Structure 1
Amino acid sequence: MSVYSFYIFDRHTECIYSKRFTQQPSPPRTTSSTLRNGTTVPPSLRQANKDSDDAKLVFGTVFSLRRMCRQLGGVDDQFLSYRTAEYKLHYLETPTQLRLVLLTSPQVGNMRTVLHQIWATLFVEYVVKSPLAPTEHTGGKGVGNELFEGGLERFMEAVFRPQQQQQQ
């Protein structure tokens, strides 16, 4: 069981943090690709565009599923997660409309408490309470806090390492 990626979206639907924990194998490309108008795109920019597109697709999926759950079940029903054959998406929305999304392997159980712990112990402590962090992350400016990133890495290792050892 493993974690694939993690996203945080603010109340303005901007992706303010994204992190990939496992890399999907892709054919190595070291050359720039050429667009139809003749301009070249370096590999680093291609990866940045792909990450941005992935975040938009994830948010669009979550937004649509949340809306469908509320229309079918009423305002009290909440969207928590969904599973496919390839991955499971876990979702948590905070009272301040911060949205946390975690993509894991399909065998992983409910991660709502894990997402709540990430928000309460890591995000609030290292980002919200930091005097250097902006209150609004406008213009694609995301969370750039080394303490948050390091804490998230250690937290994910602690959560998923015991599960991987039990499988072996």
Structure 2
Amino acid sequence: MAGSVYSFYIFDRHTECIYTKRFNSAQPLRPHAAVTSLTKSSLPPTARKALSESDDAKLIFGTIFSLRRMVRQLGGEDDQFLSYRTNEYKLHYYETPTQLKFIMLTDTRVGSMRTVLHQIWATLYVEFVVKSPMAPAEHPGGVGVANEMFEGGLEGFIGSIFPPQPA
């Protein structure tokens, strides 16, 4: 498959971001620029990264929430939001029956990732997170998915779909 993956997010049914993964590809654009360079420069590097990832997650969830609502208002309850595309990236969305939200940002050449997001949920998340006796059933306050098997499986799965491009 041509293209590349920029980032991946999982939100729980309480709107908390429980997992974020940025992939090592040249992302041409971050989904937002809400934090000014002046503010960023006054923070230590670890705080800048945490602030940036938190802001990204909030912005992405807000975008998804608004687009889902708009799609249902315009098309009815049976219509679903699946993805949107800008000149710089494409956002793919999948919601599970338990209201987990899987979101992936890719480059614009990538086709629908709905099946891929479903596979990540069914084969990786369910197997390594839901069935793990160490994983919490709920993620209060955004306590995330901290599971090496899930992380390794996700990286391998994404790497098999989007092999590294030669420089």
> SS where residue 105 of structure 2 aligns?
strand
Residues 7-156 of structure 1: pairs in structure 2 closer than 5 A: 7-21=9-23, 22=25, 24=27, 33-34=41-42, 41-156=43-158
- What is the RMSD computed on CA atoms of the aligned residues? 1.9
Q: CA deviation at 1:42?
A: 1.5
Structure 2's unaligned 5+ residue stretches are: 29-39
Say if 1:23 and 1:139 are closer, same or farther in 2 by CA, change over 3 A.
farther
Give the C-alpha shift of residue 160 in structure 1.
1.0
Please give the secondary structure, in 2, of the residue aligned with 1:52: helix
Using the size of structure 1 for normalisation, the TM-score is 0.86
Change beyond 3 A, Cα 1:86–1:24:
closer
**Gapped runs of 5+ residues in structure 1?**
26-31, 35-40
2:140 is matched by which residue type in structure 1? Answer: T
**C-alpha distance in structure 2 between counterparts of 1:86 and 1:113, whole Å:** 22
Helix, strand or coil: the match of 2:140? coil
Tell me how many residue pairs correspond in the alignment: 153
Measured after TM superposition, the shift of residue 140 of structure 1 is: 2.5
Q: Secondary structure at the match of 1:89?
A: strand
Hey, what's the Cα distance between the residues in 1 that align with 2:161 and 2:133?
Answer: 29
Larger radius of gyration: 1
Change over 3 Å in CA distance of 1:139–1:23 after alignment to 2:
farther
Over the matched positions of the two proteins, sequence identity in percent amounts to 72
Deviation at 1:122, TM superposition (A): 0.1
C-alpha deviation, 1:141, in angstroms: 1.0
8 Å Cα contact 2:84-2:90 kept in structure 1: yes
